[in-house]
Amino acid sequence: MTTMNVSLPDGLKSFVDEQVATRGYSTSSEYVRELIRKDQERERLRGLLLDGAASAPTAPADDAYFNALRRRVRQPRA
């Protein structure tokens, strides 16, 4: 694992310390790692949404669509 030093103003440092104390993180590094993982996931989801928005339209996702999905999922597998 690599070390990274981050400079924070007093107000942000206090906020991080408070989050560590109240949300069950054992260290400020653990808290920051979790924030970075969440940001990565947000970026991944944003990319998927943009890809979907740019894709060609398909059949509408209406009641018939979801009923067909339910029937397909409930069918016994061979």
pLDDT in tens, 25-75: 999 999 999 999 999 999 999 999 999 999 998 888 899 999 999 999 999
Indicate whether this model's pTM tops 0.75. no
Contacts of 16 (CB under 8 A, 6+ apart): 8, 28, 31, 32
Q: Who contacts 26 (Cβ-Cβ below 8 Å, separation ≥6)? A: 20
Q: Is residue 78 pLDDT above 80, yes or no?
A: no
